[in-house]
């Protein structure tokens, strides 16, 4: 079980087990137990599609939400960028733990490696953006409007 906190200070537990995986599959058609499936693979879609990730996380939190008498809209409203990142990190760590305990070291390694790859890709993209020099691209203009 992995935890994260939303913008309202509420602590949430991400739990991946057969029951929560089945709830996600029934509600969203997403098979968390096959992270390599699809094109692009599910693990990639969960990393790049914030809406899909948010929907999956809400399904994993469904029982906790019911206990707190909160709706999916309530939860999503408390998910800013930092919260979604914390939830994503908790979710992937929980996936790795699930597959390791299941005896599927291959899937655990694939999920962990993919998470590391995506972090490296973000750092590389940030470096590329930081290297852009607008003054060079615009030919050294100094604030004068183009004719």
* pLDDT tens profile 56-66: 999 999 999 99
Q: What angle do CA 120, 113, 29 make, to 5 degrees?
A: 105
- Quickly tell me which residue has 């969203």 as its tokens: 28
Per-residue tokens: 75? 């939860």
Pick left, alpha or beta for residue 44 (phi over 0 → left; psi -120 to 50 → alpha; otherwise beta): alpha
String of DSSP letters for 120-138: HHHHHHHHHHHT--HHHHT
pLDDT at position 91:
96
Whole-angstrom Cα distance, residue 125 to residue 57?
26
pLDDT at position 60:
97
């Amino acid at each position: 079980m992995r935890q994260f906190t939303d913008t309202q200070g509420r602590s949430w537990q991400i739990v991946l087990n057969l029951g929560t995986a089945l709830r996600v599959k029934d509600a969203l058609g997403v098979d968390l137990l096959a992270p390599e499936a699809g094109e692009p693979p599910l693990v990639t879609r969960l990393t790049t599609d914030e809406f899909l990730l948010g929907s999956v996380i809400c399904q994993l939190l469904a029982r906790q939400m019911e206990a707190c008498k909160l709706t999916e809209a309530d939860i999503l409203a408390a998910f800013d960028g930092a919260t979604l990142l914390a939830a994503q990190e908790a979710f992937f760590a929980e996936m790795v733990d699930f597959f390791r305990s299941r005896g599927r070291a291959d899937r655990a390694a694939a999920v962990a490696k993919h998470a590391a790859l995506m972090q490296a890709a973000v750092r590389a993209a940030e470096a590329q953006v930081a290297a852009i020099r607008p003054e060079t691209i615009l030919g050294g203009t100094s604030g004068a409007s183009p004719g």
